[in-house]
Amino acid sequence: GTSCLDCNGVPNGGAKKDVCGICNGDGTSCLDCAGTPFGVSVFDRCGVCGGDGQSCIQCTEQDLSPLHQQMIQKSKEQKGNADFFLLKVLKSDPKYAKASKNQLQRIYRKLLAVMKKLPISTKECTENPFCTTQDSHTTLINTYKNEALKIYRISKQILARPQTTGGVCSTPGCEQRVSARIRKTSSMKKYAYRLYMQNITLARRFPTQITVCD
């Protein structure tokens, strides 16, 4: 008969099937990584049993909202400064002043549109085989820089225009006033440049790459 056969077919033998159904097995062939027979747990890509594959990806969220607000504020300052310059030529050339003011407004709106598209936070991850960096915001930042440059150039153009209706300098103290005006104009140009460079410096701080993880 067969009733006394072990799993190897040996009468009254000692061989038995393990928990995995293997004759004379050690009971490990069907265990998952958690030690459960016929279980479904597996090691993830980080080597963690039953893990979600994220434990070896260490990322931190970088808050960009302060930089975001600084760029918006500096653009506003740049535009406001150029608008102030326009007051100097309003009487001598109102048509030019109006056209320039409209142009400055269009540029400012474009700067705000760029800022609206830029994120207020980004993710930074330690180097690992599951994450890559991708260029994401370079085009937007370059557009921002170009628009800031336009405001600076318009500011210089405004200051280069005559601020009065002209005429011969013949009244007492006229030459001194002209000299003082030249010095003031030079100072205003330097201030316009300083605002422009401050805005560009902020834009350069904005990260142009994002981290993408599988």
pLDDT digits over 121-170, tens only? 998 887 778 888 888 899 999 999 999 999 999 999 999 887 655 556 66
Domains annotated for the chain, with CATH where assigned, are 1-56 (no CATH), 60-165+185-213 (1.20.120)
pLDDT at 203 over 70: yes
Q: What is the rounded CA–CA span in Å between residue 192 and residue 202?
A: 16
The rounded mean pLDDT for the chain is 89
Q: Is residue 173's pLDDT more than 80?
A: no
Structural tokens at position 193: 């440049």
The predicted structure's pLDDT at residue 77: 98
With a CB cutoff of 8 Å and minimum separation 6, the contacts of 94 are none
Q: What is the largest CA-CA distance in the chain?
A: 137
Answer with the residue of higher pLDDT: 85 or 124: 85
Structure tokens at 65: 């909202």
Query: Average pLDDT for residues 35-56, to the nearest whole number?
Result: 90
The reported pTM is 0.73
pLDDT: which is higher, 138 or 212: 138
Based on its alpha-carbon atoms, the radius of gyration of the chain, rounded to whole angstroms, reads 37
The answer to whether 158 touches 85, Cβ cutoff 8 Å, is yes
The residues that bridge with 124 in the sheet, in sequence order, are: 60
What is the rounded CA–CA span in Å between residue 110 and residue 197? 18
pLDDT for position 9: 83
pLDDT at 207 over 70: yes
Q: String of b and e for 35-57 (b: at least 16 CB within 10 Å)?
A: eeeeeeeeebbeeeeebeeeeeb
Residue 115: pLDDT over 60: yes
Statement: residue 45 has pLDDT above 90: no
Q: What angle do CA 23, 28, 30 make, to 5 degrees?
A: 85
